[in-house]
Amino acid sequence: MEPEHPVAFVDPRGVPATEPLPYELSDPLRDGAVIALMANGFPDSVAFLDAVADAVGERLPTVAFARFDKGNASRLADEAMLTEVAGTCTAVIAAYGH
């Protein structure tokens, strides 16, 4: 016997109004590129970025990773850390939120 008021499932996602466009880096990561992983200080941000490095490393096996940790999410990265990142890294992946 069918219920009097069947349950209907509605997909809450909207339909995109524009066609998605791929993001293309202006300078693709080449062999020997170094990607900075900037942890924000929230719990598990380092572990999360380790997982990101594993995933990125599978797709880009010739890049290296440099790990940085602000240690406290309420503070900005200090000038020394930013200088090191800018001087040694090709790109940055930053963890934010929690």
Q: In what order do the strands lie in the sheet with 34-39?
A: 64-69, 34-39, 91-94
Mean pLDDT of 32-41: 94
- Structural domains counted in the chain: 1
- 21 lies in some domain: no
- 5 lies in some domain: no
CB 78 within 8 A of CB 22: no
The model carries a pTM of 0.71
Distance CA 15, CA 98 (A): 28
Which residue is listed with tokens 């934010």?
96
Taking the mean position of all CA atoms in its chain, how far away is CA 41? Answer: 15
Can you give the pLDDT at residue 37? 97
- 29 lies in some domain: no
Tens of pLDDT, residue by residue over 37-87, are 999 988 889 999 999 999 999 999 999 999 999 988 888 999 999 999 999
Q: What are 63's strand-pairing partners?
A: none
The CA angle 48-53-57, to the nearest 5 degrees, is 155
Residue 58's domain comprises 34-94
- 50 lies in some domain: yes
- 82 lies in some domain: yes
- 8 lies in some domain: no
- 3 lies in some domain: no
